[in-house]
């Protein structure tokens, strides 16, 4: 069964550095999402992406964040000038059609020191 994959599984970075989190959505999916989950808290929507552009973003997704689909398979989340409070699990998800089930990746645990 096809799955969403994410790399790395764990990223440690120093405050102020830039990180890029990578996701490979399910191959025939068209809708892509990033979520964040601070340890012990709820899952928070960051951004959705369709047809090479952002379709929705939350109040969390400010100028510090950007997303890109650099080729036909990868979907990336870039976080510039990381802060301690950016430490969280970041999940990528994809879906095949509007309104259909979202499949989550295993997550990247980001630790900012």
Query: Which residues bind to other proteins, rule: CB under 8 A?
Result: 31, 33, 41-45, 48, 55-56, 58-59, 91, 95, 98-107
Q: Which is nearer to other proteins, 64 or 106 (CB)?
A: 106
In terms of Cα–Cα distance, which of 39, 56, 38 is closest to 47? 56
Minimum CB separation of residue 99 from other proteins in Å reads 5
Minimum CB separation of residue 44 from other proteins in Å reads 7
Minimum CB separation of residue 88 from other proteins in Å reads 14
Distances from the Cα of 97 to the Cα of 2, 77, 79, 102, angstroms: 16, 21, 27, 9
Minimum CB separation of residue 31 from other proteins in Å reads 8
Q: How far apart (Å, rounded) are the C-alpha atoms in residues 77 and 37?
A: 15
Q: Which is nearer to other proteins, 7 or 106 (CB)?
A: 106
Q: Which is nearer to other proteins, 71 or 98 (CB)?
A: 98
Q: CA-CA-CA-CA torsion for 35, 9, 49, 51, nearest 10 degrees?
A: -160
Q: Which is nearer to other proteins, 20 or 89 (CB)?
A: 89
């Amino acid at each position: 069964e096809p799955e969403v994959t994410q790399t790395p599984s764990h990223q440690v970075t120093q405050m102020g550095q830039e990180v890029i989190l990578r996701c490979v959505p399910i191959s025939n999916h068209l809708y892509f999402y990033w979520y964040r989950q601070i340890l012990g808290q709820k899952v928070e929507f960051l951004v959705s992406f369709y047809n090479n552009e952002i379709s929705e973003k939350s109040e969390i997704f400010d100028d510090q964040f950007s997303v890109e689909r650099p080729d036909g398979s990868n979907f990336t989340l870039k976080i510039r000038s990381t802060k301690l409070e950016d430490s969280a699990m970041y999940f990528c998800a994809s879906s095949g059609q509007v309104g259909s089930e979202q499949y989550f990746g295993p997550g990247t645990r980001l630790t900012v020191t």
